[in-house]
Structure 1
Amino acid sequence: MRWMIRLGMLVVLAVGLASCAPSKFRSYNGPEVTRIEVHKAARKMYLLHHDKVLKSYDIGLGANPEGHKQFEGDSKTPEGLYYIDRRNPNSNFHLSLGISYPNPQDRAFAQAQGKSPGGDIFIHGRAGKHNLRGRGQDWTDGCIAVTDREIEDIYAMVRIGTPIAIYP
């Protein structure tokens, strides 16, 4: 009987501790993010409500960051106007928000060259081995990288359909 009481106490303790564990899913009740701007040369990303900057972030880009992404494997981050088209709560990089690259023009250009435009471009964290890399270093295959803590905030703030302008 005594062991059952101890077991019950351990279960209650475990449940209590689990509820205290930090969650990667945050809430946000502030102004709507109406657009995102990425300035590749400055390695900065801004979340805006109309013309007001709500948050700014230092970012990492594709390993070959200069110029517009054209082909699969070129390690470039796209440039132009896109939108957030998906959310991935199970990302290999903590959390991620999908960018609508390639658009019809990107596909047509790559096809005319007999190549694939690539895809799966995201804003994501640095989970795993990439957590050890410094902020702002360019290491992705074309994505936009922030810290895991930052992607938690961004993931809470940004909705599907939000426009993202990526500048050289």
Structure 2
Amino acid sequence: MSRRYAALLSLLLLSASPALADVDRIVVTKAERKLRLFDGGTLVREYDIRLGSAPEGRKQVEGDGRTPEGLYRISGRNAASAYTLSLRISYPEPWDLAAAVKRGLSPGGDIMIHGQPDALPDFVTLPWDWTAGCIAVSNDAIREIWSLAPDGTAIEIRP
């Protein structure tokens, strides 16, 4: 069975099972390497994460290997990414852009919550910080997050 077919089948099975309501907030705590889903004030799910190659500090410019910090939204999704599904984070927001322009540099972009590289077997989860600034989770986790967090979901990324 191809990886894409398996991913689609998993999504169908998740949507066919008794589902949780959509979540309204995602909180990422970089220092803890945790991503949490909330419905109202109730914690619904928690996942281990991996970050960029230089995870400490706020993302400032393209190529710094950092993951942004602040308030964002899920602004799109890509089922055909180079990773097992990806949810776009609305970085850079105007304040991120202004800070980078002040330095005469690009803030970067394409910051996502995504699964593992497609080249890896589905059950493998890389155990170190390896992204270019994205938030990586296991393939099972991204499938669940994908199904629970609609576009527009608020995401707070904490140090």
Residues 1:115 and 2:101 aligned together = no
Q: Which residue of 2 aligns with 1:167?
A: 158
Q: Which residue of 2 aligns with 1:99?
A: 89
Q: Structure 1 or 2: larger helix share?
A: 1
Structure-to-structure mapping, 1:17-36, within 5 angstroms: 22=6, 23-25=9-11, 26-27=14-15, 29-36=19-26
Q: How high is the TM-score relative to the length of structure 2?
A: 0.87
Partner SS, residue 93 of structure 1 = coil
Q: Tell whether the 8 Å contact from 1:127 to 1:148 is kept in structure 2 after alignment.
A: no
Mapped partners of 1:119, 1:68: distance in 2: 14
Deviates more, 1:121-130 or 1:23-32: 23-32
Q: Tell whether the 8 Å contact from 2:60 to 2:99 is kept in structure 1 after alignment.
A: yes
Q: Which residue of 2 aligns with 1:4?
A: none
Aligned-residue offset at 1:134: 3.4
Instruction: In structure 1, give the amino acid aligned to 2:144.
Output: D
Q: Which residue of 2 aligns with 1:140?
A: 131
1:98-121 CA distances to partner (integer Å, 9 max, x unpaired)? Answer: 000000010011111110000000
Query: Relative to structure 1, is the Cα distance of residues 165 and 130 closer, same or farther in structure 2, using a 3 angstrom cutoff?
Result: farther
Identity %: 46
Alpha-carbon RMSD: 1.9
The number of residue pairs the alignment matches comes to 149
Pick aligned residue for 2:72 from 76, 82, 87:
82
Q: Tell whether the 8 Å contact from 1:44 to 1:57 is kept in structure 2 after alignment.
A: yes
Q: Tell whether the 8 Å contact from 2:87 to 2:114 is kept in structure 1 after alignment.
A: yes
